Structures are given as structure tokens and as C-alpha cells.
Structure 1
Amino acid sequence: MDGPEPRWVQTTVNIDDHAFIPELDPAAIAANPDEVLEEYVASLSTRPMDLSRPLWEIHALDFPTSEAKSAVVFRIHHALGDGTSLVSLLLACTRSAANPAALPIMPAQPTRREGTVYGAQPRPPMSAGPWAFATWIFSIVMLAWHTVVDVALFVAMALQLVRDPRTVFTPAKGVEYRRKRFKLAKMMESGKHNELKWGNRLGYIMLPFEIVMHDDPLDYVRNAKKTVDRKKHSLEAIFTHLDTEMVTKLFGIEVTPL
């Protein structure tokens, strides 16, 4: 990028500006290599990227951890692509350790859920009787009611008609460069290539964050499960997805809610 206003320009890549082999404490590596790796990755989140050169970096950490003989950290600016696209590109550039001629694969997709969807009960057969039909109608009415309430609250918060009270957890400016920790994920197993459709289809649900003192800490879990179960009986995620998609197309990503 060049000038006061960011713009794409053609440049020559100097690999020394992008490939790094950090010098880390050998004693710390010997004592706890997993923690050293986690600390190093966390430290990368505090460093802004240099916008005067291509926005990607490779960090090679040549020491064994509990899960691998060595590690490579890719640090890539979101301007180059979303996470799914970049992971797809990364996988296409690698090969399976078990079979060097084969590409790594993603885990198999779970089978499609059968039965009720969003809490609405399936339509009973004619022989089920009036009570079964009444229960079915009631589930549809509750689904519609929950959807209206959830979508109305989402719109109100997106328009800032309703705001969360400030708490110790309220984010402040500059949080993008505060230290963050990332947990490692195991690589995919090798095997037959799976055809997967990539893309982001994002919807939102509003979940309250409860800040109270309970005598029983498990009350937090019970209340959270109760809220999530209630949210499952709503079409909020579908409506928020459509709303976000429409606003993005009409006005651009800058004014997209949430």
C-alpha cells in the first residue's frame, strides 16, 4: 500500500521482510515448549503490520511441541482474504504427512439434522387427534412470536436504540493490539479428498452476558442453557443473516450492523 489513502500497488517481494526464525530462550523451550509457542503467537497479536509491504508473514519455530516436531505460524492481514479462503489456500500448498502425494483433507461433514427445525414440531398425521394438532399450531405460534421479539431487539441494538450498560467488560479503543491467546488445533487426518463448499453465511443471535453473583456457580450454566434453548426456537439467525446481507449490498460493509 502507498500514500495516505491505502491502495494496492505492484511491488517486489523481499523474502527477508516476510520470513522470520525467532531466537527464543532455549531454557524456556526445554521446560515448556507448548507455552513458548503459545506466548510467541500471542505476542504477534500486539504488533501492527507494516502497510508499506505485502501484508503477510511466516514465522518458523523449529522446536518440538506435544503435538508436532515443529511449527509454522502464518500471519496474514484480513485484507488479503477471509479465514476460510486463506486456510483453503494454505491446505492447497501442503501435503499430508502420512501420504506426501495427497492433499490434507477437512473432517467429514456431519450428517444433516433430521426432525424438528427451530423448535417447530412436524405436522402430525390426521389420525393423531385434535390435541396433537393444537400442540403443533402452538409450536408454530411460539416460533413466530420468539422470532418477532428477537428480530425487533436485534434491530433496536443495531440502530443503537437499545444499548448495553457499561461494565468492566465493555471494550475500549485500542483493543486490537492488546495481547491475545490462541489455542492450537490439531491438523486434519489424511485420506480421500472431500468436496466441500466454502463461503461465509453469517447470522447473529443476541445472547445476554449475565453479571450477577450466584451462590451456586452452576447457575450461570443453567441460565445460559435456558437462554440458548429458547433462542433455538426462533428464526432470528435467518433474519439477521438476510438483514446483514441486504444492508451490505445496499450501503457497504462500513454500515453493516454488528
Structure 2
Amino acid sequence: MTKTPSLNPLTKIQTFKEGEGDHEQPLSPMARLFHESGANVYIIAIFGMKTFINVDVFKADLLVNMTKNNPRLSSLQVEKQNGSMRWIPTHLNIDNHVVVPDLDTNMESSDKFIEDYVSNLSKSRIDNSQPLWDVHILNTKTSSTQGTCVFRFHHSLGDGISLINLLLACSRKVSDPEALPTLPGNKVSSHRIRVARFRSLFMVLWNTIVSLLMVLLTALFLRDTDTPLKRSPFENRPRRFVLRSVSLGDIKMTVNDVIVGVVQSGLYRYLNRRYGGGENNNKVPKNIRLRANIAFNLRASTQVDVSVLSPSCASSFDTRHGRWGNKVACVLLPFNIRPMKDPLEHVRDVKTMMQRKKASFEGFCVSFLIKLFIKLFGIKLAAKILKKIESRTTLWFSNMPGPQEEISLFKHEVAFLAPSCYGQSTALLIHVVSYFDKLTFVISVDEEIIPDPQNLCDDLQQSFELIKTSVNISCQMRLELAKEKGP
């Protein structure tokens, strides 16, 4: 099997003399935080293509679109003599950022090769002597694609929402090559509306206080239960990335509630098996504390509005418009790991908890406190506190709606898209993304702790099918009852 090309390890960021470089801008506190030990995180975005990838066409469109939409992709991150870090524009050599390895046409399994290739990427870092991103083009046919491209961004360039939407801003509808994709989040965030409509300001304040108290206790001593999904934190451990797509079909319920319910149900199924239980035999210990760090979007819009992209305002997106950069905070979501007779109990259970989270200012307060802590005590101490919180929880979870129709990226039709991360110390990350009529679960694991990620995918898929069937049956029964009652 052809080996993944080796990449230079992360080296000390080059120090320039004060005053060198034009149009320098400081890194935001959150961007600076991602250069600290234990927070050196990379975002991976895997795009499966329906056609063989024309490298010359791909590179030409990549250079024009990516750098136009986000100048950070053609800037160095430079540490000054006073310890601060700044963005410094540089000449972008696209050949340094596009990797096209020679592949063995007689490989035994191209699907396994792609999986191994992406896993090997998690063992490496991008050299800070160039802008911190690259893309790997793998022209080999798999069971579902004709080619695969893997984008990799250092998290200091932006959060998952901004970077995935940066790529979507470079895409077009297959049905209309001149039209941008339809993103379901391109409207005012409903978070503030939900808060405003909540029963009383007192309840909003109460939910916020309770949530922040749990964050504080976690930073001090509160740990999740040790389970087969949790381990002591280790840095720079390689990851294994596995995918599983399911058909959305006709779900007559809020998709977000269904997805979180599926994850809770799938985690129970997986743990029950690891503890030696079966379908009707619960072996999971009682009162397990299992929490997820969930990325909470702080933007006024739930997604970047790709329709307003223009070169004239791209350079100010990070500060004035807030569309790019790191504009998320993490909130803690507890999962109820226990058997439930009705699959919809998982959905109802997490819906109640999610409503409490949405009817609070936990995300905004956490973001404010992080920035205040950095200002008062410095980046390094803030990074240590955040690492403690991460190490005392079980997993990271993210759910992001994607295009509602099929798209082409740089003139290549997309079969699926799958975002994930590496660099965190938790053994498990679950990202869920919708695309057209499908939902893809992207699992990132530390194989030494979770050696069977495909089994977890099976559990998530089975939970999804059971909950989807129950949702549709429940809705159908309500419709029939409504007809019987008449107008």
C-alpha cells in the first residue's frame, strides 16, 4: 500500500522583528488558544466525488475561490518578540498546499486505503512556515466515489461552521451551475427567539446559573464515570475516522432532536455491548455520568450566508461581520445512558435537556469568561483550564446542517461530505452532517480506547432506523386521530 506522504512536524513559529509585514492583524484570543499544548486542533473535511478529480481544474478554482473568500488562507501566523501572534499576508504557492500522491492501482481495498490515509494525517502537523491548511487529492475508486479530496485546516483559521461554509461558498448546485447551495441555517438564529419566548426571565437566569455552576465544578473536580469510551488524556494520539450514511427520508419531527436522541441511544447500545449485555439484557452500570462537549454557534446566523461573499468585504469578515474565525463556545450536555422501552424516549429526553440549554446564555457566558480569563491570567493558564474540562468529559459532539440539494465543488460533483477533527484529548468525537437526502455520522476515535468504531456506527445506524420508524408511526397516528375528530 502506498504510504501517506510525510509532512513536517509542527515547529516553533518564526519570530519576526516588530514592524515587518504589511497589513498585520493580531490573532484573536480563541485563535491564539489553538496554538497551546493540548489545544493544537486540526479540522478535517472529507469530500467524496462522483467523478475522477481533474487536478489542474481543481487547483485553479481552489486558488481563485479560497483565497478570495478568506484572506487568512494566504497569511502566516507569526509570533512576535513580545509573545503576541499576528496574521501576516504572504505569497501563496498553491503547489505547497495541494498533495497528489501516486497511488497503487492494484491496491487490495481502496476504501481501507482512504481510511488509513486520513488516519495517518492525524499523526502529522503542518509546518508554520506556510499558511496552515492543505488538501489531499486521492484519485482512486471506492465503493461510493470515483475520487476523494481531504481538506485540512488548523483550528486557528476558524471553527468548523466557518471553514465548511467557506468550502460550500466555492460550490454550486448541480441542478443550476450558477447558483449557490441552499443552506437551511441562512436566517436569524432562533436561539434568542426561544429565550425571549421562554416562560420567564427567572427561568433563563436559573438555567444559565446551573449550567455555569456545572462548568465550574467540572473545571475543579467533577469527572465523568470511567467507561470504555473514556480515558486519561493523551496528546497527539493518532485517530481513526469512520463514516456511516443513512437516508433522512420523511422525518416528521425536528431533525436536531432526532439526531441527539440517536446519539444517546447509540452510545447506550455500544456501552451495553462492551459491558457484555445484549438486546434485552442490560449490563450498563446505573447512574453513569456521561457528558458531551457541544459546539454552540455564537453567530447571529446559524450558518455563514454564502450569498453575500465578495472580495471587497472578505478581508474584514473576522472582525466586522463575524462570519469567519472562531465564533463558537462549548456547552456541556449530559446523556442519559440507560435502557428505554420506547425509542422515542431518547428523543424526548434529550429534547428536554436541549430546550434548557437553548433557554439559557451558557454559550455566550462561557465565551465571555474564556476571553476574560485570557485577559486576566494569560493564554497558557486558560488553555490548562479548558484542557481539564475536556479531560473530565467523555466526548465531543457536533451537528451541522449541510446543503439541501446536490452540489459540485470546483466543478466536481459531490457524493458526500464528512467533517471531523483531531488533536483533542478525548477518545471519541461524533460529528453529524446532513447533505441532500442523507445524514452522515462521522466518528473519530482513539483506537487504543475504542478499537471497534464500526460497531459504534452500527449502533448509531440501528438507533436511527428505530427512532425514525417510531417518529413516523407516532405522527401518522396523530394525523389519523385528527381526522377522526374532524375540523
TM-score range, shorter chain: 0.5 to 0.7
Go from structure 1 to structure 2 and tell me whether the alpha carbon gap of 1:151 and 1:81 turns closer, same or farther (over 3 Å shift).
Answer: closer
In the TM superposition, residue 153 of structure 1 has moved relative to its aligned partner by 1.8
Secondary structure at the aligned position of 2:364 is classed as helix
Mapping of residues 78-89 of structure 1, within 5 Å: 78=155, 83=160
In the TM superposition, residue 115 of structure 1 has moved relative to its aligned partner by 8.7
CA distance in 2, matches of 1:46, 1:195: 34
**Cα deviation digits, residues 156-201 of structure 1 (max 9, x gap):** 223x14333333222334464333316499xxxxxx9611642332
Larger displacement relative to structure 2 (239-248 or 174-183): 174-183
**Cα deviation digits, residues 120-173 of structure 1 (max 9, x gap):** 44xxxxxxxxxxxxxx5xx22222222222122222223x14333333222334
Work out whether residues 99 and 136 of structure 2, in 8 Å CA contact, stay in contact via their aligned partners in 1. yes
Q: CA RMSD in A?
A: 4.6
Specify which of 205, 211, 214 is matched with residue 339 of structure 2: 214
Structure (1/2) with the larger strand percentage? 2
Q: What is the letter of the counterpart of residue 341 of structure 2?
A: D
**Partner residue, 1:8:** 14
**Partner residue, 2:103:** 23
Mapping of residues 156-175 of structure 1, within 5 Å: 156-158=217-219, 160-174=220-234
| Number of aligned residues | 228
CA distance in 1, matches of 2:163, 2:148: 18
Secondary structure at the aligned position of 1:118 is classed as helix
Matched, 1:235 2:312: no
Mapping of residues 1-258 of structure 1, within 5 Å: 6-8=12-14, 19-24=99-104, 26=106, 28=108, 35-36=111-112, 38-49=114-125, 51=127, 54=130, 56-64=133-141, 69-78=146-155, 83=160, 107=183, 109-112=185-188, 113=190, 116-118=193-195, 120-121=197-198, 139-158=200-219, 160-174=220-234, 176-181=236-241, 183=243, 194-195=307-308, 197=321, 198-199=323-324, 200-211=326-337, 213-216=338-341, 218=343, 219-254=345-380, 255-256=382-383, 257-258=385-386
- Report the structure number with the largest CA radius of gyration: 1
CA distance in 2, matches of 1:85, 1:227: 26
Go from structure 1 to structure 2 and tell me whether the alpha carbon gap of 1:69 and 1:104 turns closer, same or farther (over 3 Å shift).
Answer: farther
In the TM superposition, residue 214 of structure 1 has moved relative to its aligned partner by 1.4
Q: What is the letter of the counterpart of residue 148 of structure 2?
A: A
CA distance in 1, matches of 2:336, 2:100: 43
CA distance in 1, matches of 2:182, 2:379: 30
TM-score of the superposed pair, with normalisation by structure 1: 0.62
TM-score of the superposed pair, with normalisation by structure 2: 0.37
Structure 1 vs Structure 2: percent identity of aligned residues? Answer: 24
Structure 1's unaligned 5+ residue stretches are 122-135, 186-191
Work out whether residues 180 and 307 of structure 2, in 8 Å CA contact, stay in contact via their aligned partners in 1. no
In the TM superposition, residue 240 of structure 1 has moved relative to its aligned partner by 1.3
